[in-house]
Amino acid sequence: MKQAQHGSTITVSYIGTLDNGRIFDSTEENSPLTFTIGTDQVFAALEQAIIGMTAGETKNIIILAADAYGPRLDANIIKVKRDMFPADRELRIGEKLRIEFNGGRERILIVLDQNEQEVTLDGNHPLAGLDLTFALRLDAVE
């Protein structure tokens, strides 16, 4: 049987969970994921765990936060004046906003808090600071 190696195009099915058991992603609702190992399409730590597997093999893989979305950083939490948003724009805690920064770069920020003077936004990835577990099956190796 052919083993997954650097440069292999592989297809995997998986369920991704957090330490509390909450599912954060799954191919059960979508189609399996196909990618080429070594092309930075997925976490390098995930690629390394798949190398050597053969089609049909299953494995539980834990990706530490540092090797996934990194730590939650206070530097990614910003406060902006409430008047930066239209007065009639209702903001909700937990809402995701697409914000354009100088230079045209866009980021998704989550509303953490707000009052009449300011809005607190979190630019950390929602999975930052969390270890990720993948129950993974290697479906195909090409």
Task: Report mean pLDDT in 10-residue bins for the chain, 142 residues.
Answer: 96 97 92 96 97 98 97 96 92 93 88 96 96 98 96
Q: Does any domain span residue 34? A: yes
pTM of the full predicted structure?
Answer: 0.84
* CATH number of the domain enclosing 115: 2.40.10.330
Task: Return the beta strands (E) in 23-114 as ranges.
Answer: 23-26, 33-36, 58-63, 77-81, 96-100, 106-114
Kindly report the backbone phi and psi dihedral angles of residue 85, in degrees, each rounded to the nearest multiple of 5, phi listed first.
-110, 150
Judge whether 28 and 15 are in contact, CB under 8 Å: yes
pLDDT of residue 38: 97
Q: What is the pLDDT of residues 79-117, one digit of tens each?
A: 999 999 998 999 999 999 998 888 888 989 999 999 999
Q: Does any domain span residue 55? A: yes
pLDDT of residue 72: 96
